[in-house]
Amino acid sequence: MSKKVAVLLSGCGVYDGAEIYETVLTLLRLDEQGVKYQCIAPDIPQQEVVNHLSGEVEADAKRSVLQEAARLARGDILALDQAQEEDFDALILPGGFGVAKNFSDFATQGAKASVEPQVKAFTQAFVSAKKPIGLMCIAPALSAELIGPGVVCTIGRDAGVSGALTEMGALHKSADADEIVVDQQHLLVTTPAYMMATRLSEAKVGIFKLVDKVLELIK
C-alpha cells in the first residue's frame, strides 16, 4: 500500500507563514522516496502580513493562510476543515513564523501560548491514531500542546525558545541543523532546520533525515 503524508502549511513566507525552503525540501524528499503527499492549510486570516523585503509589518494588509499556502502547493491544496486524519499515514509541519503567529499565539504569548483549534484537533487525531508526526524549525515549540506533556523534541539551541518549550511541558534536547531528535514513545520526529541552519544545504540534511524517519515509523 502506498504511503500518503499530510503537510500542514501556515501560509507562505518565513516571517508570516510557512518557511518556503523547509516546505520545498520536505516535498522534495517525500517525492524522492516515492511517497504521495497533500498540502493542507486552514482557511483563516493571517495574524499579520510582513513585507519580506523590508521586514516591516504592513498594518492594513490582510491575507488568507489558505490562499498564501496555495502558492507553495502550486494550487493543489486542501482546506484543513476538509482534511481527515484517516486519509493519511503521517503528518509533517514545516516551520516559519506562521506556526507561531497563525497556528498559535506563541509569538506573543510564549509559554502561555494556545494553538488554533483546527490545527490542534487535526494533529491530535494523528496522535490518537498512533501515526508519526514530524515538526521542524519553530514548530516543535508547540509539541506539548499538540502531542502532550513529556514529549521529547528540539528547536536547536535557542535558550529563550527552549525555555518556553520546557515551561509548556516538553523535554528539550539541543541539536544542530543536521540532526534529528526522535521520541519513539510519542512517534515524534523534530529537527531545528532554520532555527540553526545558515545555508540551504545545512537545512536539507536534517529535513531529509526527519522525512526518512517519519516514513520509517509508519506502521
The CATH number that applies at residue 103 is: 3.40.50.880
Mean local confidence (pLDDT), 42-62? 95
pTM: 0.97
Domain of 187 in residue numbering reads as 4-217
In 10 A of CB 118, how many CB atoms? Answer: 17
Region 49-70 average pLDDT: 96
Strand 181-183 to 188-191 pairing: antiparallel
**pLDDT value at position 98?**
97
pLDDT at 127: 98
Span 86-105, average pLDDT: 98
CA distance linking residue 124 with residue 70, whole number of Å: 24
78 forms beta bridges with 40
Query: In the predicted model, is pLDDT for residue 190 greater than 90?
Result: yes
Rounded CA-CA distance 111/134 in Å is: 21
Nearest CA among 3, 75, 62, 1 for reference residue 37: 3
CA distance 37 to 50: 28
Query: At residue 29, does pLDDT exceed 70?
Result: yes
pLDDT at 69: 98
**Catalytic site includes residue 12:** no
Q: What is the mean pLDDT of residues 207-217?
A: 98
When pLDDT is cut at 50, 70 and 90, the band that residue 1 belongs to is low
- Provide the 10 A C-beta neighbour count for residue 109: 12
Segment 111-139 mean pLDDT: 97
Q: What confidence tier does 7 reach under pLDDT thresholds 50, 70, 90?
A: very high
Mean pLDDT score of the chain: 97
> What pLDDT is attached to residue 2?
87
Options 12, 39, 137, 153, the catalytic residue:
137
pLDDT score of 128 more than 70: yes
- 79, 44, 49: which is closest to 61 by C-alpha? 49
Average pLDDT over residues 95-121: 97
Number of folded domains in the chain?
Answer: 1
Phi first, then psi: what are they for 178, rounded to 5°? -95, 10
The pLDDT of 130-143, averaged and rounded, is 97
